[in-house]
Amino acid sequence: MASRVYGAMRRLAGPALGGAALAGAAALHASGRCEPAPAAAPAKAARSDAVVPGVIGAIGKTPLLEIRSLSDATGCRIVAKAEHLNPGGSVKDRPAARIILLAEQRGDLPAGGGGTVVEGTGGNTGVGMAMVAAARGHRAVLVMPDSISKDKIALMEAMGARVVLRPAVPFDDPGHYVHTARRIAEATPGGFYGNQFESLENMNAHLFGTGPEIWEQAGGRVDGFVCAAGTGGTIAGVSHAIKERNPSARVYVIDPPGSSLASFVDDGVPAASPGTTVTEGIGIGRITANFAAARVDGAFRGSDEEAVAMMTYLLKHEGLLVGPSAALNLVGAVKLARVLGKGSTVATIICDGGERYRASVLKPGFLAKRGLAAAAEAPRARGDLSFVR
């Protein structure tokens, strides 16, 4: 699967992937593993009872939660990495810190602060970039679609970032938020473009952090891993980390409506599925360098109805308030548990919490306008996962 997917990526990626990114992805697939971390990779203290060096030292070493009601219902052990407990509230804190700290070490940003970090983001990376930039004394300029939750925008602005909103347009439009971010970085003296979609340091943050943590916390047994993808960094890094330790582990992507990744994994052609989605930061219409490097065995197609129903289910039966993308990841975990069979350990990611969706999914009337009120309001007993199709 990996070689077929990479071959299709090389034919279809076009100018979105530079030669270096393509060569790096090719080397990853040829070797079956990722390159070692740069010698100057920033050290990070493990989360513990010891004092850590500021907010950046608190990133990572998040708990691995067993979602007991899902485990009981499927006969598998379903575990989720609680990335919403990172200081910036999401899994994106990890690549944000790695990208900025390594930029300082390379001289792309001044080590003593005073630089400008520019990134195109679907939301959570922007929060992480704003937090890490502030901690390191840099300015942050964050460019994103105007459809992003107002809660996320307010949070980034509260952290001192300048937020630039762009209309949601196709990637080949020069006005796309990613292209806008690159132009701003090029025009800004001392500007640094994070390039999270194509920089393999995004993937490496999970190869050397998230993935090994999941394996160790799960007691050295992970039979399957599933998550949605936007940049592709999380699934790429974790897939390599898990498969290096258990080559027979199965890795699946769960794709929301309107995204092209499931089609790409299944058929080698990135064709968008019908519909739009209330999830944020996942699903994409092109193949990034990070996703091209992932070791993916299969794909599930998820729906907004499943994601919203899972949000309600988890709050009622687990006391977990997660975002819609995290809920879709747990829908994927149930689907993968059904594929692998009883007794398997399936891991996924709680990419963020639900508190930053108060102005969208949690706002009264928001779901009703989108025909999703019934999915949120249907009464479900513990263990009733009939909404996962």
Active-site annotation holder among 92, 152, 243, 335: 92
Give the relative orientation of helices 19-31 and 2-12 as an angle to the nearest 10 degrees. 170
**Region for 16 from its dihedrals, namely left if φ exceeds 0, alpha if ψ lies in -120 to 50, beta otherwise:** alpha
- Token pair listed for 122: 């679907």
Residues 6+ apart with CB under 8 A from 298: 1, 250, 252, 253, 265, 266, 339
- Phi and psi torsions of 59, nearest 5°: -80, 135
Residue in 105, 103, 356, 326 with CA at minimum distance from that of residue 227: 326
**Region for 35 from its dihedrals, namely left if φ exceeds 0, alpha if ψ lies in -120 to 50, beta otherwise:** beta
61 is catalytic: no
Residues 6+ apart with CB under 8 A from 332: 226, 227, 228, 252, 253, 254, 300, 302, 348
Q: What is the DSSP letter of 32?
A: T
Q: Tokens 């690159």 map to which residue?
A: 182
224-227: strand order across its sheet:
64-66, 77-82, 345-350, 224-227, 250-255, 298-301
- Token pair listed for 321: 């308030």
The set of catalytic residues is: 92
